[in-house]
Amino acid sequence: MAPIQVKKVCCIGAGYVGGPTCAVIALKCPQIQVTIVDLNQARIDAWNSPDFELPIYEPGLADVVKATRGKNLFFSSDVDRGIQEADLIFVSVNTPTKKSGVGAGFGADLHYVESATRRIAAVASSSKIVVEKSTVPCRTAESMRTILEANCKPGCRFDILSNPEFLAEGTAISDLFNPDRVLIGSLQTQEGKDACAALASVYANWVPKERILTVGLWSSELSKLAANAMLAQRISSINALSAICEATGANIDEVAHAVGYDSRVGPKFLRASVGFGGSCFQKDILNLVYLSESLHLPEVAAYWRQVVELNEYQKRRFSKIVVDALFNTITGKHIAVLGFAFKADTGDTRESPAISLIRDFLAERAYITVYDPKVEEAQIWMDLSEACPHLTLDQIKRQVTIVHSALEACKSKEAIVIATEWKEFREIDWQTVYNNMTKPAFVFDGRLLVDADKLRRIGFKVKVIGRGEVL
């Protein structure tokens, strides 16, 4: 049997995974036509914007889109046409944590996955390879296959693959150009292996073959959850140690450096912080918790749940550090929060620690001024409204101000809280900041960003997470 040739690719979902991934496929595979479709017309319009003001901020992404858009990369809201024309369809839609019903707070909401799958079955008039790109619970592919087979037209067949993405926001383009591995899961039938080979041949245009791993369908689905859970586990582990460091006078940087020298451990993801955020870590761990409980493995569920609980504790602990240092009250005080994105080099605010910190400061009736170089004002107001449902937006706006520079944010404040590790926060003119602050002037570094000794020489009272210094 001749190998399957992939000439046209469609991606359903123009979000953080589908957009960058398929833009890079278009760049690296000029012989393949790539169409990214989404029902959100405003998002598609942003992808097609003449000035390349894309809906996602990711370093290097605009350059990739500039090089391919209109050539072999297209963005469209015509979902049906994209499905009809494609040989291979990526399903890259949102899978948020359920907010109600069975599994609320833990299980993944697969509504969008099911809707996309049913649309493929209804529209497709020829055989397709359907690739599960979204992060999903184990055996979601089985549900997709059942739906497709029950609703497909005569003569159509669908082969299901799992191809989870292992991108880190802020470095997504470099991760796609040079991935640690590409993971493809398939049924271990001949048809499944043929479909797997077809997708592997796409990636082989730029990824060394030894980095393209082919496994069973269920192993692929679980590997994505496992990878994110274990990375988050390392962050919670180092954050737990940061609390011990503060209590004993140890330095978490020194501890992490020493531990990271062990070749069995390694240095990555051992940087203490105010907590992890983003669209994946918490959602995927909770998904793993729900899966474990569903499989009657309560001890396993409890183990992974603690990773998330420790992360929430770290955020609460840092809020309390601020209140305690500011003479046990921040009521009526003015605090600058530098950074609102969950990490640097992204505009993504999902599960951002800054949201939790500001929510806690609002509860203490403080006044907060926020600056982030990439997060839109509308996003900040929406996130704070969701985090503080007991407050109206007008009430929030009486206590929160959004400004457009770090110096403006810090002017006339009693304290500065660094919540995101943006490079520009390293380069602030701290002497000018100090001169314009209420004294004593406090800096609370939740990202191990500042030169604490330099700031103390200027006159600041400095608290760095994971260090036991006295203010």
Q: What percent of the chain has pLDDT over 70?
A: 99
Q: Is the pLDDT at 203 greater than 80, yes or no?
A: yes
| pLDDT recorded at residue 191 | 94
Mean predicted confidence (pLDDT) in 409-429:
97
Asked if the structure places residue 33 within a domain, the reply is yes
Per-residue pLDDT band at 138 (split at 50, 70, 90): confident
14 assigned binding-site residue:
yes
| pLDDT recorded at residue 169 | 87
Q: Is the pLDDT at 280 greater than 90, yes or no?
A: no
| pLDDT recorded at residue 241 | 98
Asked if the structure places residue 12 within a domain, the reply is yes
369 assigned binding-site residue:
no
**Are residue 315 and residue 449 in the same domain, yes or no?**
yes
Asked if the structure places residue 422 within a domain, the reply is yes
What values do phi and psi take at 111, rounded to 5? -55, -45
Asked if the structure places residue 97 within a domain, the reply is yes
Mean predicted confidence (pLDDT) in 127-131:
95
Mean predicted confidence (pLDDT) in 438-465:
97
Q: Is the pLDDT at 231 greater than 70, yes or no?
A: yes
Q: Is the pLDDT at 199 greater than 70, yes or no?
A: yes
Mean predicted confidence (pLDDT) in 138-153:
86
414 assigned binding-site residue:
no
16 assigned binding-site residue:
yes
| pLDDT recorded at residue 331 | 97
Q: Is the pLDDT at 471 greater than 70, yes or no?
A: no
**Are residue 35 and residue 182 in the same domain, yes or no?**
yes
Cβ neighbourhood burial of 3 (10 Å; 0-12, 13-18, 19+): exposed
Q: Which of 182, 207, 232 is the last residue of a domain?
A: 207
281 assigned binding-site residue:
yes
Q: Is the pLDDT at 114 greater than 80, yes or no?
A: yes
| pLDDT recorded at residue 101 | 82
Q: Which pLDDT tens digit goes with each residue over 299-328?
A: 999 999 999 999 999 999 999 999 999 999
| pLDDT recorded at residue 141 | 82
350 assigned binding-site residue:
yes
Asked if the structure places residue 232 within a domain, the reply is no
> What mean pLDDT is reported for the chain?
94
169 assigned binding-site residue:
yes
Q: What percent of the chain has pLDDT over 90?
A: 87
Asked if the structure places residue 299 within a domain, the reply is no
| pLDDT recorded at residue 2 | 54
Query: Which CATH number do you get for residue 103?
Result: 3.40.50.720
13 assigned binding-site residue:
yes
**Are residue 134 and residue 20 in the same domain, yes or no?**
yes
Q: Which pLDDT tens digit goes with each residue over 33-42?
A: 999 999 999 9
Query: Domain count of the chain?
Result: 2
Asked if the structure places residue 246 within a domain, the reply is no
Q: Is the pLDDT at 115 greater than 80, yes or no?
A: yes
135 assigned binding-site residue:
yes
205 assigned binding-site residue:
no
C-alpha distances in Å from residue 365, one per residue of 71, 135, 333, 385, 466: 54, 39, 8, 16, 27
| pLDDT recorded at residue 326 | 97
Catalytic residue at 280?
yes
Q: Which one is catalytic: 10, 280, 388, 410? A: 280
Record the pTM: 0.90
239 assigned binding-site residue:
no
Please name every residue paired with 337 in a beta bridge, in sequence order, or none if there are none: 370, 417
Q: Which of 185, 207, 229 is the last residue of a domain?
A: 207
Look up the domain containing 436 and give its range. Answer: 308-464
Mean predicted confidence (pLDDT) in 56-76:
96
18 assigned binding-site residue:
yes
Mean predicted confidence (pLDDT) in 258-272:
96
Q: Which of 207, 233, 248 is the last residue of a domain?
A: 207
Distance, CA of 425 to CA of 402 (rounded, Å):
17
Asked if the structure places residue 213 within a domain, the reply is no
Interacting residues of 390 by C-beta distance below 8 A, sequence separation 6+ = none
